[in-house]
Chain A
Amino acid sequence: MTLATTEFSASATDSAAQAGMPETPGRRRRRRVRPGDRFVYLVAAAVVAVLLFFVVVPMAYTAVSSTRGKGAAANYRAFLDGGSSTALLLSVGISLASVLGCGVIGTLLAVAVTRFDFPGRRILEVAALVPMALPPLIGAVSFVLLYSETGIVPRTLAHWFGIDPATVSVGGVGGVVLVHVLTMYPFFYLPVAAGLAGQDSSLEAAAYNLGAGRIRVWRTIILPMLTPALVSGALVTFMISMASFTAPQLYNVQTLTMEIVGTQTGGDQELAATQATVLAVVSIGFLMAMRWYQGRRLHRSLSKGTQRERTVSRGPTRWVSAVGAVVLTLVLLAPILTVVLVSFSVDNSWTTQILPPAYTVANYTTLFTDPGSLLPMSVSVQMSLLATVGAVLLGVAAAYVVARWRGPGRAGIDVMTMLPWALPGTVVGLNLVNAFNDPQPSNLGLSLVGTLWILPVAYLVRFVPLVFRSSSAALDTVDPGLEEAARSLGAGPLHVLRTVTIPLIAKGILAGALLAFVDGVGEYVASVVIYPASFPPLSVEIYNRIYSSEFGTAAAYGTLQIALILLILIVGNALQRGRRGPRHHLMRAT
């Protein structure tokens, strides 16, 4: 008791003395570095260094390059006066149309499959995900094969109904928008379907109970709760449409991405850099808008989603909706079916017929026997593997830093890592060309242009956000208390990372890595800007084959790609099973 009392009075005097000390509000005390934070700082430093070297500095190179030549003022005036500003307007117009089309299709489809029951609903639900299995280049090609003036659909209509193919074919700007809408609507479909499925049906019930009619319930309850999904869907669709290069190239539409490649190929590097800088600024603006929007407090149901009844269609509506479901399913499956069918056609045999007239399996056998045909696949697979290893190291490290970093600078690392996701592949390619063209102190003497090494670097830069996002999502579910428990048991930070954190997020890492790998194998947009002439990657080879009308071989490559993507989607789904919370979808840019 005596001992305790003395201690207590000591404590009392001490706190009294400190209470008398004036506390200056706003004045920051010198913060002690928490023991153990040093490791996070160290990892952060490494992450920032790599991101600066491969992402930020190359972007800066392009920006600087846009001020060279005749000078910044002249370059940007040339941008405004020349075809570039028209191209920019065209890109914006196409993107707005794509957002509108994707929004309508994606939302209606989501409402149909989550709120209604009709024959064919389950098949439609599966078919709705098919665009995710379409490889970027060959996917766009399939739309040309289907809907262009010499495509399967107009020819069929001409043959059976005598309709002039020119009136039903889709080409030019319309073709680009068609490809965008039918490949990008999942940006709306997935979040809206998830939102509708997760919505607490008691909210609706409460509104009906208070006397609201069906339309009022949709207008005042359901749509406001879907707003976050719709807004972020719109932002992503706009950003990806602005970055789109494949569809404009196939339909020969002069969007800004096309202009950049054209100008660069034409030798006017300063103007190309100017165009790329403008496009990058637009994309980064949208990334920032998205971050801002998602950072706001959003409506969330307070209770868990409950199973709700679907409205069952009856009578004539039932058959109308059934036919609609079948037609829509066919439309959604047609691109993949076309690619698979054409992959068995004899090269150069398909001229004016509706479908290819002659079939063979030779396309596949040559792919694996002819060294010249095997090379692109082996280049893409190896380079993508290499890039995936790098993306895992960098992406996981960045996710770890963003999740465990205390204090300012966190958002900066987040933005830096996500930056390549917002940047069009064309711009990423151009940035790397500008930064690694010849040895300089800022690129540590690395001259990668013209070598095979430029490919894995480009894939790493483009797909690190995929690993970053899926690792971050996994890390969010790991209680930091587990790491603290391991620390208190004597494990150092690296040991904790190895024995606790990484094993717990392994599935998330793997899911991201698989996506990064498959996207690397199919990468076209940046590859076409940077690939070394003697080592064409797979997608460039596909383009070359199409250019020389070897549709069979091109489609055979494409079919293998589709098989790979399907495999990885299935594995990824198996990994996700049992995990709670929203899935993170990041789709590739085409």
Chain B
Amino acid sequence: MLPITLDRIRKTYGPATDITMHTTIGAGELFTLLGPSGCGKSTLLRVIAGFVAPTSGRILFGDNDVTGTAPNRRDTGMVFQNYALFPHLTVAENIGYGLRVRKVDKRSRAERVAGALDQVGLTGYADRRIDQLSGGQQQRVALARAVVITPAVLLLDEPLSNLDAKLREETRAEIRQVQTAAGITTVYVTHDQAEALAMSDRVAVLDQGRVHQIDSPATVYHRPATAFVARFIGRSNVVPATVVHLSDHEVTVTLPGGASMTVPRPDFEPIAIGTELALSLRPETLGFTTPEQGLLQGQVTAIEFTGATRMYTVAAASLTVLVVAPDAPGRPDVGDRVAVGLTSGQAWLVRP
């Protein structure tokens, strides 16, 4: 169990791509790199694995600088997006590959392979060929192969993206369980925010090579640092807000339409009177109120029935606001004029 330090890591590909990160991943932690495709998350994972050399910066496993270390000497286990299972070897030979390289003797190799197969629920599949397995089974073999060598670091590159939705949810719980049991420091790459929130100890949200926020899933969700994070994690209404008053702990802002509200002061700078920021309003924190209490006034343009709730699209001046409200009697209809206000939870100021 080792912490991983990304010390001012920077990777550039020409002038267009510039990926930077500086953080420490705690020992035994499941750390997720989350972002849309092309944000640089896979490149960062490959930097940690040793397949890509950073343009500048250092990688440390514990106190050990591995920046110049070949991938095979880094003691990482990696699960690839397409699994990269060796097609010419059986399931057991795939899982035993890393042990063989480490010159583990035949008997304990067989024991550990059997143990790994058992752990991922594939006992009895040892002698199958890879092409005789389903996608979900292949995924589990890939995980077993990476974990059986008890690596210092486990790296997962979108391991669930090739599975169907139901299998994905089952498997993510399994991965988390295997990781916690082994206590391996793990870096997990995904573009699926639900997956990231469900599995991670901490999440790094990236966009276009830039780290927007590194925090626990709850913090990332409730207190997004930037408008991008607010929009990328869950659904959010990001509304322009101008600072009109501020104290050590609170900020008062005005919204388009003139309403004002006071929210906790976020911990980024600079914030001053007149600073243009953005307010993140989760749809489920909003509801319909009286015009006096409302933050925004507008007209319902669409309603989507989702089961327990309904999602309303409200056009308020130049903004389009989403409101999720219980499917209760007296609800507004398409075309009705409504006032939208904060009815539960909190609004959060973000950098635009």
Beyond the given A487-B50, A489-B77, could you list 17 further A-B residue pairs with CB under 8 A, ordered by the A residue number?
A: A4-B216, A9-B267, A11-B20, A12-B211, A23-B12, A33-B53, A35-B53, A481-B80, A484-B78, A485-B84, A488-B50, A488-B155, A489-B149, A490-B102, A490-B149, A491-B101, A495-B72
What's the count of A-B pairs with C-beta under 8 Å? 138
Partner of A29, one of B52, B55, B215, B267: B55
Which residue in A5, A29, A34, A491 is a CB contact (below 8 Å) of B97? A491
Q: Could you give, for residues 18-55 of chain A, a 1 whenever the CB lies within 8 Å of some chain B CB and a 0 otherwise?
A: 10000101000101111110000000000000000000
Contact of B211 among A11, A32, A500, A504 (CB under 8 A): A11
Q: Is the CB of A490 within 8 A of B69?
A: no
The CA of A564 and the CA of B97, in the complex, are separated in Å by 40
Counting CB contacts under 8 A, is B10 at the interface?
A: yes
B55 touches A488 (CB 8 A): no
Contact flags (1/0) for B202-232 with A, using CB distance below 8 Å?
A: 1000000011011110010000010000000
Question: Does B84 contact A11, Cβ atoms closer than 8 Å?
Answer: no
Bound state CA distance, A495 and B70, in angstroms?
14
Please name all residues of chain A whose beta carbon is closer than 8 Å to the beta carbon of B102 when the two chains form the complex: 490
Smallest beta-carbon distance A177→chain B, Å: 48
Report the bound CA distance from A485 to B81 in whole Å.
11
Chain A residues in 8 Å Cβ range of B219: 1, 4
Q: How far is the CA of A35 from the CA of B69 in the complex (A)?
A: 6
Q: Let me know if A490 and B24 touch, CB within 8 A.
A: no
> In the complex, what's the smallest C-beta–C-beta distance from B179 to chain A, in angstroms?
16
**Contacting pair A485 B53 (CB below 8 A):** no
Nearest chain A residue, comparing its CB with the CB of B49: A488
> In the assembled complex, which residues on chain A have CB atoms less than 8 Å from the CB atom of B41?
none
Task: Check if B87 is an interface residue, CB within 8 A of chain A.
Answer: yes
If A33-B53, A479-B84 touch, whether A4 touches B145 (CB-CB below 8 Å) is no
Asked if residues B84 and A482 are in contact (CB atoms below 8 Å), the reply is yes
Which residues of A sit under 8 angstroms from B72, Cβ to Cβ?
36, 486-493, 495-496
Interface contact A490-B75, CB-CB below 8 Å: yes
Q: Which of A93-111 contact B (CB under 8 A)?
A: none
Which chain B positions have C-beta within 8 A of A451? Answer: none
What residues of chain B lie closer than 8 Å to A496, measured between beta carbons?
72
> Considering the chains assembled together, what is the distance between the CA atoms of A194 and B131 in angstroms?
28
Which one, A4, A25, A36, contacts B214 given CB within 8 A? A4
Compute how far the CA of A500 lies from the CA of B267 in the bound complex, rounded to whole angstroms. 51
B39-62 interface code vs A (CB 8 A; 1 in, 0 out) = 000000000011111110000000
Interface contact B20-A15, CB-CB below 8 Å: yes
Contact B71 A484 (CB under 8 A): yes
Question: Beyond A4-B214, A10-B22, is A487–B82 a contact (Cβ under 8 Å)?
Answer: no
CA separation between A488 and B86, bound complex, in Å? 13
A-chain residues with CB within 8 Å of residue B145 when the two chains form the complex: 485, 489
Q: With A488-B76, A488-B77, A489-B149 given, is the CB distance from A504 to B53 under 8 Å?
A: no
Contact A29 B71 (CB under 8 A): no
Interface pair B71/A35, CB less than 8 Å apart: yes
> Residue of A at shortest CB range from B157?
A481
Partner of B78, one of A15, A32, A488: A488
Binary interface profile of B, 167-189, with partner A (CB < 8 Å = 1, else 0)? 00000000000000000000000
Contact indicator A34/B53 (Cβ below 8 Å): yes
Instruction: Assess the A32–B53 pair: CB atoms within 8 A.
Output: yes
Give Cα distance in the complex from A14 to B102, angstroms: 39
- The dominant DSSP class at the A interface is helix
Q: Are B98 and A36 within 8 A (Cβ)?
A: no
A484 touches B98 (CB 8 A): no
Interface pairs (15), CB distance under 8 Å: A4-B202, A9-B268, A14-B22, A15-B211, A29-B55, A479-B84, A481-B84, A485-B78, A485-B84, A486-B72, A486-B97, A487-B51, A489-B72, A490-B101, A492-B72
Contact B88 A504 (CB under 8 A): yes
Question: Is A408's beta carbon under 8 Å from chain B?
Answer: no
Measured CA separation A25–B80 after assembly (Å): 34
A8 adjacent to chain B (CB < 8 Å): yes
**B132 interfacial by beta-carbon distance below 8 Å:** no
Q: How far is the CA of A472 from the CA of B257 in the complex (A)?
A: 66
Give Cα distance in the complex from A7 to B70, angstroms. 28
Interface size on B, residues (CB 8 A): 54
Question: Cβ of B307 < 8 Å from any Cβ of A?
Answer: no
B68 at the interface (CB under 8 A from A): yes
Across the interface, do B51 and A34 meet the contact criterion of CB distance under 8 Å?
yes
The answer to the question of A503 belonging to the interface, with a C-beta cut-off of 8 Å to chain B, is yes
Partner of A11, one of B22, B49, B68, B216: B22
List the B side residues contacting A482 at CB < 8 Å. Answer: 84-87
B311 to chain A, nearest CB (A): 31
In the bound complex, CA of A488 to CA of B98 (Å):
9
Q: Is the CB of A487 within 8 A of B267?
A: no
Q: Measured between alpha carbons, how far is A5 from B211 in the docked complex, in Å?
A: 13
Give Cα A487 to B8, complex, Å: 25
Question: Could you tell me if A32 and B84 are in contact, using CB atoms closer than 8 angstroms?
Answer: no
**Inter-subunit contact B101/A29 (CB<8 Å):** no
Cross-chain contact B10 with A489 (CB below 8 angstroms): no
Whether the pair B50, A36 counts as a contact (CB closer than 8 A) is yes
B23 at the interface (CB under 8 A from A): yes
Closest CB-CB distance, A172 to chain B, in whole Å? 55
Q: Identify which of residues 454-508 in chain A touch chain B, using a CB-to-CB cut-off of 8 Å.
A: 479, 481-482, 484-493, 495-496, 499-500, 503-504
Contacts of B149 in A (CB 8 A): 489-490
B122 within 8 A of A: no
Q: Is B21 an interface residue (CB 8 A)?
A: yes
> Closest Cβ of chain B: how far from A501's Cβ, in Å?
10
**Distance from A486 Cβ to chain B, minimum over Cβ atoms (Å):** 7
Q: Which residues of B contact A503 (CB under 8 A)?
A: 88
Shortest CB distance A14–B (Å) = 5
B258 at the A interface (CB under 8 A): no
Contact check, A7 vs B214: say whether CB atoms are below 8 A apart: yes
Docked complex Cα distance between A308 and B254 (Å): 69
Contact B71 A4, beta carbon cutoff 8 Å: no
Q: Is the CB of B80 within 8 A of A484?
A: yes
Chain A residue at smallest Cβ distance from B7 = A14
B70, A489: Cβ atoms closer than 8 Å: no
Chain A residue at minimum C-beta to C-beta distance from B215? A4
Cβ of A8: which chain B residues have Cβ within 8 Å of it?
23, 211, 213-215, 225
Instruction: Decide: B22 and A32 in contact? CB cutoff 8 A.
Output: no
Chain A residues contacting B330 (CB-CB under 8 Å) are: none
Distance (Å) between the CB of B29 and the closest chain A CB?
11
- Contact digits for B141-152, partner A, Cβ 8 Å, 1 yes 0 no: 000011001000
Which residue of A has the minimal Cβ distance to B66? A35
B80: chain A residues within 8 A (beta carbon): 481, 484-485
